[in-house]
Amino acid sequence: MKETAIEMNKILKEKSDIFYFMLSDFGKNIYMPKGIIVQSAEAKEKATKYNATIGIAESKKMPIFLNSLNKYFNILKPDQIFPYAPASGVQELRKKWKNKILLENSLIKSQDMISMPVVTNGLTHGIMLFADLFLGENDEIIIPDKLWENYNLMFEERYKARVVNYPLFNKKSTGFNVDGLDQAIANSKKDKIVLLFNFPNNPTGYSPTLKEVDEITAVIKKRADDGKKILVACDDAYYGLFYEDDLIDGSIFSRMTGLHKNVAALKIDGFSKEDYAWGLRIGFITFSDFYKNADAYAVLEKKTTACIRTSISNCSLLSQSIFLDIMGGGEVYVKEKIEKFEILKKRANKVKEIVYKDKYKDLWEVYPFNSGYFMCIKPKGTTAEKVRASALEKYGVGTIALGEDLRIAFSSVEYEELDDLFEIIAGVIRELK
Amino acid sequence: MKETAIEMNKILKEKSDIFYFMLSDFGKNIYMPKGIIVQSAEAKEKATKYNATIGIAESKKMPIFLNSLNKYFNILKPDQIFPYAPASGVQELRKKWKNKILLENSLIKSQDMISMPVVTNGLTHGIMLFADLFLGENDEIIIPDKLWENYNLMFEERYKARVVNYPLFNKKSTGFNVDGLDQAIANSKKDKIVLLFNFPNNPTGYSPTLKEVDEITAVIKKRADDGKKILVACDDAYYGLFYEDDLIDGSIFSRMTGLHKNVAALKIDGFSKEDYAWGLRIGFITFSDFYKNADAYAVLEKKTTACIRTSISNCSLLSQSIFLDIMGGGEVYVKEKIEKFEILKKRANKVKEIVYKDKYKDLWEVYPFNSGYFMCIKPKGTTAEKVRASALEKYGVGTIALGEDLRIAFSSVEYEELDDLFEIIAGVIRELK
């Protein structure tokens, strides 16, 4: 292990033994070298005469750029578009995102309770960075059984960890399976418990109610009291798209801050889904624990930065500059987000009206949904894959088959088309039964 | 190992035993699941009525987007900006980049000689994907000793491989060290030889001459004849920035295509340095070998895509759309690139005039340079770090210290300032001696 890594680990162990305990082997080994990046940062500050450190090309203190490229942009200046962003992200954007987290999570009462968010190349990259730091081949990760398939590919193939599932919904399929979570932790033979929550959930569109979140928090606290060391990772990709009133206020992440010495937490979120900007690839990862120690958070941020450096070097400056600008933009931006939210909410409510109708009772079971982009049904008397294939081939209707469930993205179907969409799916199931 | 991975590996083994042999454990295990991505692709084609597969939000067959975001763009339409790009990249852009490789590498005479390039999130991500597929903890990677520091962090820490160096320059420091390369291969106890070439080189700005490339090719062929299995990875980040006439025509990659049954090759390149678009994060990775088999290339592309899916999901659609558009743009774009190239070439030639002057002979040794963004000197009678620190603190001049060498980025210093820059560095060395 390199000296710099040893130094970083020493600080982390002293200031947050829980985060230190959670580190994977790679998480322990990785460090930010005091090389080009550090020397360049120093030069940026002090090289007032000539800066010959820079890995880009400059002329007249501006990046050299092609007008052929610059012509695609308004508002932004070339130095907001073309140079490299810092590996950890544009500092001002990180600050703005931190403020947003505080605004939306009333339990996070002060800046020092959480780390500075580090910019990631979209949400998946945030999940990768989490796994880089905390998952290895002897680890388990506990996730509800309705999940994004890429979790398996990432955690099992890339990180050699074991994915342990528990049923997302309780036996009556009325809500979150708190007992299932509790049992999954109890059944683990590991002291190191890694939990992943993804609410609003992909694929089901479910978010826990306030009451359920209280229960989830109580379970985690109880198990931490029993001596389990627990890392809670929150994939908040669809954050904010809550369509009912009794749901979680803020992220589960906010419940973990200061909860227990044996509990550490991280939050993965970003613009992709919240701002309908999937192709711009900007997300964040943020840490929190019981100790709320600035030095420990700094180590985690640095290790995350080194993971970024060794995977993609840095994230798009162009995208970061746009989001930084828009976040300072005020009312129009906020108003527009509310408008788009209302479109999705209206669709979700319409789907609710449709799918529980008596005429469909023999055709499918509906999983609870109240948020996000999707909802799932379980076709009766046939398989989801058969329904998918037939709906597509015969009727030009695209859905996703996931095991026994059919995922329907109401995010991408018009309000006026929803009746017809489900009528077609119902017809297909009737044909197949 | 998952069934899909086994199927893919079987094809690769049959069609390109050399690429199969080179795969890391992760490279063997990784596969593209027949899940959401495949079902969505199918729906994109066939879901003519309603497409409820999509992981984005749509309205009126267009992505839902915020005008607050759209206002930053000209020319591009919202569906070129906001949706997800395919995990392997925008197909038309991949085709255009392939054509560019063919145009610039006369030895690659037909489309079928190389794979379709896969889009990466900048060059570093390309290097990561290469290491994903081909490097593990029992592997060595042989790289000249003047190298980008991030190689070490990536290959050693992330991939647990051993980095083996040989001196980049021959003993007289007049050019590439062909014997060093030959010896490094001969000295390896492994049958699996992984070579990495980075020309134009970071940090020295050196590219091999045509004669040296012939010799490099001959060495690799000879060692392949001896039974070594060799993967040649070309990091062509600074491709095209060649300032002298007798240099390599095209990439070393082009010499490897069809060279020998025991030789496989890959090329990592992209827009970042070539188009002065560092912050837009678009690169490519392309494969080639003796067999030039379409099925084998397809497996490599799919495995690469799965590596992308498990690291960042996909690369910026916005950036890909811009580059796709610009590559169809014709003369202005080409003319501008030549203009910028001339700026850098003029600076490089000026640096050549300066650094070999008699008055500096006692102060530094100059390493050969003829290309790229940088050049290196080795200060005499003091250390590079001392020179760096003193130049920065006393004179506001930023440089990078790399072991015993000082890297100077003429890419970021004006032509008119170059005399003064080196005069200051000379003064610092005199003070320190």
Contact A409 B68 (CB under 8 A): no
Is some CB atom of chain A closer than 8 A to the CB atom of B171? no
Q: Which of residues 24-43 of A touch B (CB under 8 A)?
A: 26, 29-31, 33, 35-36, 39-40, 42-43
Q: Give the SS3 label for residue A231.
A: strand
Which residue segments constitute the domains of chain B, with CATH numbers given? 3-32+84-327 (3.40.640.10), 333-432 (3.90.1150.10)
b/e string for B116-141 if b means 16 or more Cβ within 10 A? Answer: bbbbbbbbbbbbbbbbbbbbbeebbb
Q: Is residue A120 within 8 Å of B311, Cβ to Cβ?
A: no
Give whole-number Cα distances, B71 to A49, A89, A319, B31, B64, in Å.
Answer: 37, 23, 13, 39, 14
Average pLDDT over residues A345-369: 98
Rounded to whole angstroms, the Cα distance separating A332 from B208 reads: 55
Tokens of A333: 């931006």
Rounded to whole angstroms, the Cα distance separating B57 from A307 reads: 31
Average pLDDT over residues A348-366: 98
Q: What is the pLDDT of residue A286?
A: 98
Rounded to whole angstroms, the Cα distance separating A369 from A242 reads: 10
Q: Give the SS3 label for residue B238.
A: coil
What is the phi-psi region of residue B115: left when phi exceeds 0, alpha when psi lies from -120 to 50, beta otherwise? beta
> How near does any CA of chain A get to the CA of B298, in Å?
20
Q: Is residue A34 within 8 Å of A5, Cβ to Cβ?
A: no
Q: What is the pLDDT of residue A33?
A: 87
Q: What is the pLDDT of residue B54?
A: 84
Q: pLDDT-derived band of residue A330, with 50, 70 and 90 as boundaries? A: confident
> How near does any CA of chain B get to the CA of A254, in Å?
26
Mean pLDDT for each 10-residue chunk of chain B (433 residues)? 96 98 98 86 91 89 93 96 96 97 96 98 98 97 96 97 98 97 97 97 96 98 98 97 89 96 98 94 98 98 98 98 91 93 97 98 97 97 97 96 96 96 98 94
Contact A53 B399 (CB under 8 A): yes
Average pLDDT over residues A37-43: 87
Residue pLDDT, tens place only, A125-136: 999 999 999 999
Q: Which of residues 272-301 of B touch A (CB under 8 A)?
A: 275-281
Is some CB atom of chain A closer than 8 A to the CB atom of B396? yes
Query: Which residues of chain B make contact with A411, given a CB cutoff of 8 A?
Result: 54-58, 64
Q: pLDDT-derived band of residue A35, with 50, 70 and 90 as boundaries? A: confident
The answer, yes or no, to whether residue A264 has pLDDT greater than 80, is yes
Tokens of B74: 């000209």
Contact A408 B57 (CB under 8 A): no
Tokens 């960042």 sit on residue: B312
Q: Which of residues 106-165 of A touch B (CB under 8 A)?
A: 121-125, 128, 149-150, 152-154, 157-158
Query: What type of residue is A314?
Result: N
Query: What type of residue is B25?
Result: D
- Vertex A285: Cα angle to A283 and A290 (nearest 5): 155
Tokens 């080795």 sit on residue: B378
What 3 state SS string does B318-362 have?
HHHHHHHHHHCCCHHHHHHHHHHHHHHHHHHHHHHHHHCCHHHCC
Residue A169: count of CB within 10 angstroms of its CB: 18
The answer, yes or no, to whether residue A403 has pLDDT greater than 80, is yes
Query: What type of residue is A122?
Result: G
Query: Which residues of chain B make contact with A311, given a CB cutoff of 8 A?
Result: 124-125, 128, 158, 311-312
Query: Which residues of chain A make contact with B125, given a CB cutoff of 8 A?
Result: 311-313
Q: pLDDT-derived band of residue A424, with 50, 70 and 90 as boundaries? A: very high
Q: Is residue A5 within 8 Å of A280, Cβ to Cβ?
A: no
Q: How far apart are the first and last CA of chain B?
A: 61
Considering CB atoms only, which of A39, A317, A395 is closest to B400? A39
Q: What is the pLDDT of residue B328?
A: 85
Q: What is the CA radius of gyration of chain B?
A: 23
Query: What type of residue is B281?
Result: R
Q: Is residue A309 within 8 Å of A274, Cβ to Cβ?
A: no
Rounded to whole angstroms, the Cα distance separating A198 from A236 reads: 6
Tokens 């989830």 sit on residue: A216
- Vertex B195: Cα angle to B193 and B196 (nearest 5): 155
Give whole-number Cα distances, B218 to A120, A250, B143, B151, B231, in Å.
Answer: 43, 63, 18, 26, 15
- Read off φ and ψ for residue A19, nearest 5 degrees: -65, -35
Q: Is residue A50 within 8 Å of B398, Cβ to Cβ?
A: yes
User: What does A260-277 look like in DSSP terms, one character per residue?
Assistant: -TTEEEEEEEEHHHHTT-
Q: Which of residues 317-376 of B touch A (CB under 8 A)?
A: 317-319, 322, 325-326, 329, 332-333, 336-337, 340, 343-344, 373
What is the phi-psi region of residue B102: left when phi exceeds 0, alpha when psi lies from -120 to 50, beta otherwise? alpha
Q: Which of residues 230-269 of B touch A (CB under 8 A)?
A: none
Contact B276 A154 (CB under 8 A): no
- Read off φ and ψ for residue B394, nearest 5 degrees: -90, -30
Tokens of A149: 């398939």
Q: What share of chain B is helix, strand, coil (3-state, %, to 5)?
A: 50, 15, 35
Tokens of A306: 């080194």
Q: Is residue B212 within 8 Å of B66, Cβ to Cβ?
A: no
The size of chain B, in residues, is 433
Contact A158 B311 (CB under 8 A): yes
Q: Please name the helix (run of DSSP H) or strand (run of DSSP E) that holds residue B270, with its range, or none.
A: strand B263-270
Contact B72 A68 (CB under 8 A): no
What is the phi-psi region of residue A95: left when phi exceeds 0, alpha when psi lies from -120 to 50, beta otherwise? alpha
> How near does any CA of chain A get to the CA of B120, in Å?
9
Under DSSP, the state recorded for B371 is B
Average pLDDT over residues A23-39: 91
Considering CB atoms only, which of A152, A153, A398 is closest to B47? A398
* Closest C-alpha to A152, from B5, B294, B218: B5
Rounded to whole angstroms, the Cα distance separating A348 from A411 reads: 8
Q: Give the SS3 label for residue A172.
A: coil
Interface with chain B: mutation pick from A26, A29, A66, A120, highest number of B CBs within 10 Å: A66
b/e string for A388-397 if b means 16 or more Cβ within 10 A? Answer: bbbbbeebeb
Chain B nearest-CA residue for A339: B66
Chain B nearest-CA residue for A36: B400
Query: Which residues of chain A make contact with B313, given a CB cutoff of 8 A?
Result: 122-125, 150
* Closest C-alpha to A161, from A300, A337, A270, A22: A22
Rounded to whole angstroms, the Cα distance separating B258 from B263 reads: 8
Is some CB atom of chain A closer than 8 A to the CB atom of B46? yes
Q: What is the pLDDT of residue B35?
A: 80
Is some CB atom of chain A closer than 8 A to the CB atom of B400? yes
